[in-house]
């Protein structure tokens, strides 16, 4: 079986938010403690793929006892999904190899600008601790291999940029988007997904993310067997959201929490 480990389930600020005294940020429920969104895929062939490198990545990988990374997939260039990329450096050293970073051409262009010390031509000799040995592998079509596995990629609208969603085996992962294109919803519905991991940032509509109603509509359109909601802000209490999903008839859906492990074929 393949597995997906939820390294972080929170929005760009994480939960609790620094300096916030709301009842969710002050909650003692561990399910309401959310690091920035990132997940780890472990394939049935034993390959480990990090999806997004959040600023919390070091803490996340230590907490999940991750000792090897074979590749990274970056869904888009926003800071909460990229600014932990340097934390891949120890795996490059320990494994003595350059790790591939898979992304769209749009995201790749941004990563070259943001992290020119990694992806740009050397400007001076490297001294000290060195830099991560990473190389970009941009995908241009819908089907692309990552760590020897078949992935199907989907462009999703996310404000001024496009985020990448994907399908791997019986699981689809759609985060950081404010809607699901009808073509994508149709493809995923026909796939009869075991699991759908989907964005749900807050109860109300949002300009760049899916609020509850948008997430609910996507669940109705795609009809996965199970669904996990991710990228949640401090507007959501874990138990309240879980109860709301049940009340609305989504018995196979629930909010995810940091540390959850999902198994799929």
pLDDT tens digits, one per residue of 189-223: 999 999 999 999 999 999 999 999 999 999 999 99
**123 pLDDT exceeds 90?**
no
CA atoms within 13 A of residue 265's CA, in its CB half-sphere: 5
More confident residue, 107 or 124: 107
Contact status, residue 243 vs residue 218, Cβ threshold 8 Å: no
Q: Is 59 exposed, middle or buried (0-12, 13-18, 19+ CB in 10 A)?
A: middle
pLDDT tens digits along 124-150: 887 877 899 999 999 998 999 999 999
For residue 101, the surrounding DSSP H or E stretch is: strand 99-104
Cis peptide before 16 (omega within 30 of 0): yes
In which band, very low, low, confident or very high, does the pLDDT at 185 lie, cut at 50, 70 and 90? very high
Domains in the chain with CATH codes: 2-264 (3.60.15.10)
CA separation for the pair 245, 3 (Å, rounded) = 24
Average pLDDT, the chain: 97
pLDDT tens digits along 62-71: 999 999 999 9
Pairing of strands 195-199, 143-146: unpaired
The residue-averaged pLDDT of 91-96 equals 94
Report pLDDT for 115: 97
- Shortest CA distance to 185 belongs to which of 154, 211, 157, 208? 154
Report pLDDT for 126: 79
Q: DSSP string spanning 194-253?
A: SEEEEE--BSS--SSS-BHHHHHHHHHHH--SEEEEESB-TT--HHHHHHHHHHTT-TTE
């Amino acid at each position: 079986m393949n597995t997906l480990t939820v390294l972080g389930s929170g929005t760009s600020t994480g939960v609790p938010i620094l300096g916030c005294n709301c009842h969710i940020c002050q909650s003692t429920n561990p399910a309401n403690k959310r690091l920035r969104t990132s997940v780890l895929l472990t394939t049935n062939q034993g390959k480990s793929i990090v999806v997004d490198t959040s600023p919390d990545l070091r803490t996340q990988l230590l907490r999940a006892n991750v000792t090897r990374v074979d590749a990274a997939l970056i869904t888009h260039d926003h800071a909460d999904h990229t600014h932990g990329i340097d934390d891949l450096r120890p795996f490059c050293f320990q494994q003595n190899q350059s790790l591939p970073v898979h992304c769209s051409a749009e995201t790749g262009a941004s990563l070259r600008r943001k992290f020119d010390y990694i992806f740009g031509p050397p400007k001076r000799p490297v001294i000290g601790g060195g830099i991560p040995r990473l190389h970009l592998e941009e995908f241009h079509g819908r089907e692309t291999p990552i760590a020897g596995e078949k992935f199907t990629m989907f462009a999703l609208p996310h404000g001024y940029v496009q985020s990448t969603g994907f399908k791997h085996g019986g699981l689809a992962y759609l985060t950081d988007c404010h809607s699901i294109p009808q073509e994508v919803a149709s493809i995923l519905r026909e796939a009869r997904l075991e699991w759908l991991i989907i964005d749900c940032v807050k109860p109300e509509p949002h300009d760049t993310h899916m609020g509850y109603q948008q997430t609910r509509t996507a669940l109705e359109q795609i009809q996965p067997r199970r669904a996990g909601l991710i990228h949640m802000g401090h507007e959501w209490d874990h138990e309240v959201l879980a109860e709301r999903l049940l009340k609305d008839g989504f018995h196979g859906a629930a909010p995810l929490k940091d540390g959850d492990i999902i198994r799929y074929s």
